[in-house]
């Protein structure tokens, strides 16, 4: 039960855009509380932004479908791809400022995922960011564009080496594009296809192809 609850918490974190964690555990005996344990608590600031998956009362069916659809694939890839670490890094990227910090944390999550994938498949390390990310996407059959990868490479390298976005880049747009890129891939990886999600670029619900 603890494992199930923990797995659901990470999926809820991805869906809601907030880090979801258990605060305590009650153990019942003969229908009465036998023991209460306060759990080690790690929290992040709360984000009131529109969630990736509709978690509102009106969207409860979408949220339920998300959990039921993704749970088995989450278990399948959790250890191999370090999904719990990736989701926490990615979720935490939404809380911090400036935008450079958001982008850097998000790209860390993305590249952690690629590193887990490479070790899982015993592949050779590749220095080119675009090539190694393309290899992972191609393996899973995920659709992406060269423009997305090139934008990611350019912005990521500039922030890491210079601490800022390229002068020609709209930093907010670039951050939202990367967020959408990662969210689409994670949802695809978890088998959540042909279902609604919130596209932060277009600021509306769309169907994940």
How do residues 21-69 score in pLDDT, each as one tens digit? 999 999 999 999 999 999 887 888 888 899 999 999 888 899 999 999 9
Inter-CA distances, 1 with 73, 140, 194, Å: 18, 30, 30
Does the reported pTM lie above 0.85? Answer: yes
Q: How far is CA 40 from the centre of its chain?
A: 23
How do residues 125-140 score in pLDDT, each as one tens digit? 999 999 999 999 999 9
- Are the CB atoms for 134 and 144 separated by under 8 Å? yes
| CA pair distance 50, 69, nearest whole angstrom | 21
DSSP state for residue 169 in the 8-state scheme: S
Strands 32-38 and 196-199: unpaired
Q: Which residues pair with 207 in a beta bridge?
A: 196
């Amino acid at each position: 039960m603890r494992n199930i609850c923990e797995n659901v918490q990470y999926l809820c974190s991805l869906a809601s855009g907030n880090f979801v964690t258990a605060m305590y555990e009650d153990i019942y005996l003969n229908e009465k509380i036998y023991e209460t344990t306060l759990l080690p608590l790690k929290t992040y600031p709360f984000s009131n932004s529109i969630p990736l998956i509709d978690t509102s009362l009106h969207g409860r069916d979408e949220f339920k479908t998300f959990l039921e659809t993704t749970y088995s694939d989450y278990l399948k890839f959790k250890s191999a791809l370090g999904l719990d670490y990736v989701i926490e890094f990615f979720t935490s990227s939404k809380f911090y400022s400036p935008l450079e910090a958001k982008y850097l944390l998000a790209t860390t999550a993305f590249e952690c995922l690629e590193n887990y994938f490479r070790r899982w498949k015993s592949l050779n390390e590749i220095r080119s960011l675009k090539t190694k990310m393309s290899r992972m996407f191609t393996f899973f059959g995920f659709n992406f564009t060269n423009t997305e990868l090139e934008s990611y490479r350019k912005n990521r390298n500039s922030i890491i080496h210079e601490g800022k976005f390229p002068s020609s880049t709209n930093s907010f747009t670039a951050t939202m594009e990367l967020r959408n890129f990662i969210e689409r891939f994670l949802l695809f990886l978890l088998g959540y296809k042909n279902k609604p999600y919130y596209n932060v670029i277009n600021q509306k619900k769309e169907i994940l192809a």
